[in-house]
Amino acid sequence: MEKKSITSEKSTASRRDFVKAAAMTAAGFMIVPRHVLGGKGFIAPSDRLTIAGVGVGGKGTSDLSHFFQSGKADIAYLCDVDDRRAATSRTNFPKAKYYKDFREMFEKESKNFDAVSVSTPDHTHAVVAMAAMQLGKHVYVQKPMTHDIYEARKLTEAAAKYKVVTQMGNQGSSGDGVRTLHEWYDAGIIGDVDTVYIWTNRPIWPQGIPWPSEKPPVPKELDWDLWLGTAPKKDYVENLIPGSWRGWWDYGTGALGDLGCHLMEAPFRVLGLKYATDMQASVGSVFTAFGKRGIFPDSCPPSSHATLTFPKTPKTKGPVTMHWMDGGIKPERPEELGANELFGDGNSGILFVGSKGKMMASEYAANPRLLPLSKMQEVKVKQKFARVPGSADGHYAQWVEGCIAGYGKMELSSPFELAGPLTEAILGANLAIRGADMPKAREDGKGFTYPGSNMKMLWDAQNMKVTNFDEVNQFVRRNYRDGWSLGV
């Protein structure tokens, strides 16, 4: 073997030292603030979130715009079954690739995006979100999180299994109002709460009506079969899109699904609620002739009053009764409220009844107030909970930041861990409403009775089952149309 000279070895060592030193010097130049490299306001690609939107019209339009306004999100893919509804988002994000079927988009593009925003009608929330989570994608899902209780439970489990960052679109959960209510309650200002009233003027779309008999042609821009998704096959009808689908059980979840997540979230957070033990309801009726009550099983009733009981929590001394009222029904005005003072916000509201006082808020838990209103000048409570930058509007940027940080790195306002049980309670109230509106033919053939309207439905949360009125359990988990599956 040829012996290397001392000079040769020294030269090699010198070259190695030079290369090593040069590399370290280069590394030193690279470890500088990112804004120095990219100029003021620059955000490195690794600190950006690439989003695919499914359902990009209406609420989807505003959701995507809010994500983009965070300054850290790129809207790279758009998907909608209706070209008409997608038009604004396609204009807003002209470089985004467009699909009609989310399954095709996921199959072809899943390596190219980080997260999915789901703003479809309620009946397809779960299948889109589950498919995204199974691909390891973070998800933002409009409220309610799902159409069925079973779906909510499975999505909650999936978020933990796949370790993805999740957020439901009830932006009031990021607002200052719910945090103020929480601080007042924890400070003992109103004592122990055992009753909560919630009300809304919804529905603002038709309910308590028969399914339309007309069969107009399907608009050329709409893929009707894809819009139906998991729901039973039906002919196209008008006035369902963009928003009136909310009043039909196959697609929507009524007034509760529309505003329940915005109004129930505050008592859930403040009182530490989770799963109800029972629920009952009464509903408004529509009479089509004198003495003849209309039976419209496809449609939500025009108004309802649902009552849920929650067991004692570490933050209450006993069970909590929650009243939900919609269709213009309101609870009795509290005696502490002046005759001309606004109850809630005029359309919706939340009222906590405590052993030492009451507190009230508007939709999204905004504008929290102590009753009587004069107490607002007297009570000063130290801030206990950090505020979300931007308050309710910051809900979107919070999710973007959470996704960039990674699973478990940042606290979010409405992750599925919290949003799942809240959604289950809302859909549980809907079980009682559907049960109260469910006719049973009389044995003599003369008309119908409504046995579900005269009972308290006992809820087995662990097994997701009403134990004393089996007729409503069919709504806990729907049968999907052939070709559709939750994938669990």
396, amino acid identity: Y
Domains 45-172 and 175-385+421-475 share a fold: no
Q: Where are the domains of the chain?
A: 45-172, 175-385+421-475
CATH number of 175-385+421-475: 3.30.360.10
Report residue 149 as tokens: 């209780």
**Residue 31 pLDDT more than 50?**
no
Report residue 1 as tokens: 């073997």
pTM of the model: 0.90
How many whole angstroms separate alpha carbon 211 and alpha carbon 208?
10
Looking at every residue in the chain, the average pLDDT score rounds to 92
Please give the share of the chain, as a percent, with pLDDT higher than 70. Answer: 91
How many whole angstroms separate alpha carbon 92 and alpha carbon 262?
27
Residue 45 confidence (pLDDT): 55
- How do residues 344-378 score in pLDDT, each as one tens digit? 999 999 999 999 999 999 999 999 999 999 999 99
Nearest Cα residue to 373 out of 336, 411, 333, 410: 336
pLDDT band of residue 60 (cuts 50, 70, 90) is: very high
Could you tell me if 430 and 255 are in contact, meaning their C-beta atoms sit under 8 angstroms apart?
no
User: Can you point out the beta strands (E) in 254-338?
Assistant: 278-283, 287-289, 292-293, 304-310, 320-326
**Residue 18 pLDDT more than 80?**
no
Residue 283 confidence (pLDDT): 98
What is the average pLDDT across 247-258? Answer: 98
Sort 372 into a burial class: Cβ within 10 Å, 0-12 / 13-18 / 19+: middle
- The more confident residue out of 445 and 389 is 389
Could you tell me if 316 and 194 are in contact, meaning their C-beta atoms sit under 8 angstroms apart?
yes
Residue 445 confidence (pLDDT): 87
Residue 43 confidence (pLDDT): 46
Residue 27 confidence (pLDDT): 34
CATH number of 45-172: 3.40.50.720
Report residue 471 as tokens: 């007729």
Could you tell me if 360 and 371 are in contact, meaning their C-beta atoms sit under 8 angstroms apart?
yes
Please give the share of the chain, as a percent, with pLDDT higher than 90. Answer: 90
Question: DSSP 3-state assignment of 471?
Answer: helix
In the sheet with 138-141, reading across from the earlier edge strand, the strands are: 97-99, 73-79, 49-54, 115-118, 138-141, 166-168
